[in-house]
Structure 1
Amino acid sequence: MCRWAAYLGDPVFLEDVVAAPCHSLIAQSHQALEAKTATNGDGFGLAWYGERREPGRYRDVLPAWSDCNLRSLCRQIRSGLFLAHVRASTGGATSRDNCHPFVSGRWSFMHNGQIGGFERIRRRLEESLPDALYAELHGTTDSELFFLLMLAEGLETDPQGAATRAVAHVVAAAGQVAMEPALKLTAAFADGETLYAIRYATIGTAPTLYAGELRGGSGRCLVSEPFDRDGPQWAPVPEGSFVTMTRAGMSVRPFAPAVASLALAG
């Protein structure tokens, strides 16, 4: 599965997270320590917020360790809020459209995990999207579709509720084909001001998630695995959690949406 890192705080160079630390995201792209596979070489992506409402984005299909532009960009771009992702595909071709983060308007989204049996329920999930959001579906991944489901369910005004209802759609769709829901969801998303994250699974163990401060105390990070084990004190985020991070602080609330599927399946 994938590795990702997100940052919110005073503007810093992206390299402070993506490239410079001893176990940076680039290092994790070829030597992850807490993933099922050590290699995450099926592309990468960045989404960062600057002076415009919508985020900038750079994605490519090369492994992060071999892209000659990535380190240079990260040395030059400063941002107070950014998402970075290295991909290990669990489905979908290696293409730019399938690389995270995904962007819609001011929102950006990235995911580590999968929707089990996705091909069996994909059509049902796509049919639930309004036309305007269906037109934004450019790739073939379960991650992008889940992001659009969240937008359809009111992400703009109710992030946790939207995520809850999107999970309920997945659980209900699995029930319609007599399949046990198998969703693993460790995701981060942002609107330019606030950073959110989820760690949740309907079955088994959810992919790892940690919270910590960037060295020097300039801001906070959410990461798949610590990128500097001699730096901040990393705290594991419990399973079944919804994280809201602002520049003033961070809250962690329970996230247990599977019961909401009863309303959809009924």
Structure 2
Amino acid sequence: MCRHIAVLGPKAPLGRHLMDPPYALVRQSWAPRRQCHGTVNADGFGVGWYAPGDPLPARYRRAGPVWADESFADLCRVVRSRALLAAVRDATLAGPDAEAAAAPFAGGPWLFSHNGALPGWPDCAAPLVSLLPPVASLRLAARCDSAFVWALVEHRLLRGERPGQALAGAVATLARAAPGSRLNLLLTDGASIAATTWGDSLWYLAGDGRTVVASEPYDDDPRWTEVPDRTLLTADRTGVTLCPLSSRVPRVPLKEPVQ
């Protein structure tokens, strides 16, 4: 379910990556080519980007389908940035959260997206609630599984973990608590990207001063490289590093110290 993309590169209109390519994220909202679960990504969308001199990203999110939002097309035409993260949300069960459930989620300099699902939500998360400070649970942006996954990742970042470490640790914890979860996570601070594959597709394109990490290629450039399942990807504008995530989830205690 869902499609997402993060870009680092030269300053360019948002639409250069989100609308202009033949199979861009907007088209993926109704005609994804490599989506393993779900069919139509019509239950919300969002984009976050960074402006020069400001470490905190701006966001534009809506609850409906991206193809019906004329303001988004204008935004993509005139707003320019060197870094962005955007996502379209798979059609899902009705809920009250509206655009609050649409990625990217944000905290400090970070933008985050979750492509996947936690089976048995919300009951599967009950053993993990104690991993978060009470105030983090109260501040959940929405009552969906992706907002909870972001809360776990953000807590690790605030404890000082590196981006890749925070994603890998969250994936291990969630996969143990909710077997069968799909946990493709995407994170950026505007200077680096970290991502995981765990149950769905992920690709990257690097070169010409840019790095793109996406659920699927937005064009037929032969340089697109598929990331194997259960892999941690870390990247910046100079290159991409891949590290396998263990197929056997580490048996670490579910209870972690809250600081």
Scaled by the length of structure 1, what TM-score is found?
0.87
Name the residue aligned to 1:235.
225
Name the residue aligned to 1:178.
none
- Where 1:259 maps in the other structure, the secondary structure is coil
Q: Could you list the per-position Cα deviations for residues 192-230 of structure 1 after superposition, in whole angstroms to 9, with x for gaps in the alignment?
A: 211111112xxxxx110011147xx2412111111111x
Distance 1:257 1:127 in 2: 25
Task: Give the drift of 1:108.
Answer: 0.8
Unaligned 5+ residue runs, structure 1? 175-180, 201-205
Aligned mate of 2:213, from 199, 217, 222: 222
Amino acid across the alignment from 2:103: H
Task: Give the drift of 1:258.
Answer: 4.8
When the two chains are superposed, the root-mean-square deviation of aligned CA atoms in Å is: 2.2
Whether 1:165 aligns to 2:156 is: no
- Where 1:100 maps in the other structure, the secondary structure is coil
Task: Give the drift of 1:121.
Answer: 1.9
Distance 2:252 2:125 in 1: 20
Distance 2:165 2:131 in 1: 17
Q: Could you list the per-position Cα deviations for residues 78-101 of structure 1 after superposition, in whole angstroms to 9, with x for gaps in the alignment?
A: 111101101104456261110011
Amino acid across the alignment from 1:189: L
Distance 1:2 1:259 in 2: 24
Amino acid across the alignment from 1:144: A
Name the residue aligned to 1:72.
74
- Where 2:122 maps in the other structure, the secondary structure is helix
Aligned mate of 2:141, from 138, 142, 151: 138
Task: Give the drift of 1:34.
Answer: 1.5
Distance 2:253 2:247 in 1: 11
Task: Give the drift of 1:146.
Answer: 0.8
Cα–Cα, structure 1 residues 106 and 257, in superposed 2: closer, same or farther, change >3 Å?
Answer: farther
Q: Could you list the per-position Cα deviations for residues 14-62 of structure 1 after superposition, in whole angstroms to 9, with x for gaps in the alignment?
A: 1011111111111111111222333111110001111311110000012
Name the residue aligned to 1:187.
185
Whether the 8 Å contact between 1:92 and 1:141 is mirrored in structure 2 is no
Cα–Cα, structure 1 residues 209 and 6, in superposed 2: closer, same or farther, change >3 Å?
Answer: same
Whether the 8 Å contact between 1:13 and 1:76 is mirrored in structure 2 is yes
Q: Could you list the per-position Cα deviations for residues 146-182 of structure 1 after superposition, in whole angstroms to 9, with x for gaps in the alignment?
A: 11111222464322332233233324434xxxxxx12
Whether 1:96 aligns to 2:99 is: yes
Whether the 8 Å contact between 1:10 and 1:80 is mirrored in structure 2 is yes
Cα–Cα, structure 1 residues 44 and 244, in superposed 2: closer, same or farther, change >3 Å?
Answer: same
In the TM superposition, what are the counterparts of 1:1-266 in structure 2 within 5 Å?
1-35=1-35, 36-51=37-52, 52-90=54-92, 93=95, 95-154=98-157, 156-174=160-178, 181-200=179-198, 206-213=199-206, 217-229=208-220, 231-256=221-246, 258-264=248-254
Amino acid across the alignment from 2:62: D
Distance 1:254 1:168 in 2: 12
Distance 1:154 1:258 in 2: 24
Whether the 8 Å contact between 1:165 and 1:260 is mirrored in structure 2 is no
Distance 2:195 2:138 in 1: 25
Distance 1:19 1:113 in 2: 23
Whether the 8 Å contact between 2:167 and 2:185 is mirrored in structure 1 is no
Whether the 8 Å contact between 2:171 and 2:183 is mirrored in structure 1 is no
Moved more, 70-79 or 82-91: 82-91
